[in-house]
Chains A and B, each alone.
Chain A
């Protein structure tokens, strides 16, 4: 079975600071993909960043980067220079090669303090 766990229901950070959101996952498959989605108050699900399990290099998208630790089955999201617009629910998700469904974690609510 495929599971994704986010152990931080809420996080807060000062504007312009750096914050790291944690995610662990479990799968017996070797070929899979990991994602971070952002859900702002508008409720729209927006893809922030993705990581292919076969790639050793950590993915980076502007101020967003991941720390992918395959052996530990850990996939954390680092947001640098936090901005007020980063305030949202963040969901970690995984999908295995050959499957069709995204499996989501419970989410972390991120608050940005001005």
Chain B
């Protein structure tokens, strides 16, 4: 158990819908990262937050957005969902968000878009 929690574990929804994935970092970690793991794209970095502020952006679609709240939990919002958004979404956290900080991964949320 990494100490990072993600809810829900599984999510099944339809095209065009909007979902919210939630992540709680390890106690004491200020930085949260979101990654997407899909069959065709592999593991890709989406976005990083540090202490409530966006720090880095990767291959995140405009239909996707995220935020980190004052209690440091983070939410990833996915809207206008398409079949290709079906993937495993990981949240990771680290102490201060700067290498060589280790990123601890949560168990992931499996999103299925039908």
**Residue in A closest to B9 when the chains form the complex, CB atoms:** A43
CB distance from A105 to the nearest CB of B (A): 8
Residues of B that sit less than 8 Å from A by CB: 2, 31, 33, 35, 42-45, 48, 55-56, 58, 88, 90, 92, 97-100, 102-105, 107-108, 110
- Cα-based distance from A43 to B88 in the complex (angstroms): 9
A67 to chain B, nearest CB (A): 20
Q: Apart from A46-B105, A100-B97, A101-B48, what are 6 other A-B pairs with CB-CB below 8 Å?
A: A32-B99, A43-B110, A45-B108, A101-B33, A106-B42, A107-B43
A100 and B105 form a contact (CB under 8 A): no
User: Do A33 and B100 touch (CB < 8 A)?
Assistant: yes
**Which residues on A are within 8 Å of B, measured CB to CB?**
32-33, 42-47, 50, 52, 91, 93, 95-107
Q: Which residues of B sit under 8 angstroms from A52, Cβ to Cβ?
A: 100
